[in-house]
Amino acid sequence: MRRKQHFFIWLFILLVVFLFANLFTPLSSRIESSVFSFLSPIQKVMVNASNGLLKNMEILQNVKEIREEVEYLRKENRKLSARLAELDGIKEENRALREALNIDFEDEINLVFSEVVGRDFSNYRVIIRHKGKAEEGSAVLTPEGVFAGVVLESYENFSKIELAIKPENSFKVKIQGEDSPVGTTKGTGENTLLLDLLPKDKEIKRGDNIVTLPQREKIPGNLFVGRVLEVHKSDVEAFFTADIWQGINYRYLDYLFIVEK
């Protein structure tokens, strides 16, 4: 009886040892393989989801950086646009100055650059901005060297200009290249001037250049006023008249030059 008990005891011990050995060697490998086989799809899904989340987070981070970069580029673009506009203005000023410097003046004068900043055509006036203070009564020229009017009122860095086309304005003039006066220009309110008090015995024709005579102490001679467009002759009038074309569109003047003797 005891032999049978000992036999079963030893059989039980051997079975436990066998199971224990297989649990941590071949059997454990199978279990691990089964576990891995079961968990592998789940792990793959979790890894893909994690990668997707990381990518979305990276995209969001990139979107923020891209927005900041776009805003920076917009600011730089605005600065560049402003600088280009400034350079265009400087280029136009230089062009105007070059044109004005090519004028042949009778007297030694200085030209003060100014920018038109306001217009009052009901009173035939414009407002200009310049450095310093201009002398009232000084002549004003377009960049092409055409006599446009005189300084009516002057303040520090600003002046009011009364245009030559104002009907009440008149200036003594002559034919370019001659010494004696030929008459007086009068404003018409349009883009032309009227040459009045033209002597009948004075030879004048279409295309003749009309320039200023020295007058009012501030207006030098030989400033280009315009070109004779048409001469009006009359047998009953004591004097002839003529239309003077200036070639100026006063509504689009951007720059003027103040003449300083």
- List, for residues 188-224, the tens digit of each pLDDT value: 988 889 999 888 888 888 999 999 988 767 888 889 9
What mean pLDDT do residues 11-17 have?
57
Superfamily of domain 108-261: Rod shape-determining protein MreC, domain 2 (2.40.10.350)
SS (H, E, C) the chain: CHHHHHHHHHHHHHHHHHHHHHHHCHHHHHHHHHHHHHHHHHHHHHHHHHHHHHHHHHHHHHHHHHHHHHHHHHHHHHHHHHHHHHHHHHHHHHHHHHHHHCCCCCCCCEEEEEEEEEEECCCCEEEEECCCCCCCCCEEECCCCEEEEEEEEEECCEEEEEECCCCCCEEEEEECCCCCCCEEEEECCCCEEEEEEEECCCCCCCCCEEEECCECCCECCCCEEEEEEEEECCCCCCEEEEEEECCCCHHHCCEEEEEEC
Pairwise pLDDT comparison (81 vs 127), residue with the higher score: 127
Given this model, what pLDDT does residue 215 score?
A: 76
Given this model, what pLDDT does residue 158 score?
A: 95
Pairwise pLDDT comparison (2 vs 155), residue with the higher score: 155
Instruction: Flag whether pLDDT at 40 surpasses 80.
Output: no
Pairwise pLDDT comparison (38 vs 130), residue with the higher score: 130
What mean pLDDT do residues 234-260 have?
88
Parse the chain into domains and list their residue ranges: 1-102, 108-261
Q: What whole-number distance in Å separates Cα of residue 14 and Cα of residue 52?
A: 53
Instruction: Flag whether pLDDT at 122 surpasses 80.
Output: yes
Instruction: Flag whether pLDDT at 88 surpasses 70.
Output: no
Given this model, what pLDDT does residue 134 score?
A: 93
pLDDT tens figures, 141-184: 998 889 999 999 999 999 999 999 999 899 999 998 888 889 99
Torsion from C-alpha of 148, 153, 157, 163, nearest 10 degrees: -20
Residues 6+ apart with CB under 8 A from 86: none
Q: How confident is the model at residue 92 (pLDDT cuts 50, 70, 90)?
A: low
